[in-house]
Structure 1
Amino acid sequence: MVTGRSGDTVRLKTADTTTLSAAQLRQLDSAKVLATGSRQVRRTADGQLQHYQVQNADGIIETTKTAVNISIGLIGIMALFMGFMSIAERAGGIRLLSRIIGPFFSRLFPDIPKNHPSMGHMMMNFSANLMGLDNAATPFGIKAMQSLQELNGGSTRASNAQIMFLCLHASGLTLIPVSIIAARAALRAENPTDIFVPCMVAT
């Protein structure tokens, strides 16, 4: 990513003279600047060596390349956990979760009739969010809002249930941050799963 202008120098590191050979030091003393590949080396007033690199205006290209690489890394883990969600839905796990959380949600959404389809859509949305599957949660969230709008009588003003659902959705309810773990793994984090406990605490 470019910070500044093309052609600017970016300081990479500071080193002592032992990092260069005697021939390179003589060349540096005569030319004041030593080019080593894409890097430049200059001697500071205190005798240290400053390593620089000329900045190229290729930030957009590099950013698009990084975006594609991260997306490819996300495909596998997203497909895995979305498969788990599909299995849970077909096996009745979502209905079981709805029965468990239903009494709690009936207090949060008293305006929604019992067994209304919007409850199922919201359950699927929250279940996907708890698994950290943000992309999988989005269509369920849209469907839930459409179902809640049917109960709103065609009003252009959001109902209490819609506002409550939006607040819960925006609060970041996540038990297993799959998307974040996948992104950290794609970026070669030393321990991609160390975000798990902070997300649990925040939820």
Structure 2
Amino acid sequence: MGNPFKIMIMGYLLPLLSAAMVVFIPDYDYTYAMWIAAVYVILLLMPIVLVIRFPSNRRKAYLLTVTYQLYAFTFYMAFPLIKVFSGEIVYQLLLVGFIFAVFFLARFDQRTEVPVVFPDNNRKVKWIAYVYYPIPFFLTVLGFGGNHIVMGNYFERFGDAIMMPYVSTIIYLFSCWLIFLFSSMAYKSHVKEGYLEK
């Protein structure tokens, strides 16, 4: 792996990219823009806090920051669906709660004998892995293959009231898939293999 500090600096582009994408979906909302900014400010302060926490291991602080950058990148993708349910606090809390549940589910899965993501070489793959890995493909198909022209036609045909929740749900499900992947990778690398301590 290259210089952890340079990787961390470059890593700030990922959540910035997803934040720029979702801040206007479905509509710009000052409150949600402030939440997005607050998460990003916390992310900016994180390496300082982690360097104080691990004064003798800055490499560990920087790599942990990269991990949280990946989490923020995916968490921002949940915002469009959360904004669709603006004013419905129960649904919004359920959506945020489910994201965190997926995070912990991935860590629980990594503690099982045969995890879904990156099982040991000598282990047989779980049946659920055959369901998990094709999910991005099916979400891409359901999302019109990312074709903006086709998507625009569907928006004109069915209207924002139907299509915006539909597209936001696809983005949200993809973010859940990524959270599971990143959380599994982080747990396997940082905890099981002790990469941060090496």
TM-score with structure 2 setting the length: 0.28
> Where is the helix percentage greater, Structure 1 or Structure 2?
2
> Where is the strand percentage greater, Structure 1 or Structure 2?
1
Larger Rg computed on CA atoms: 1
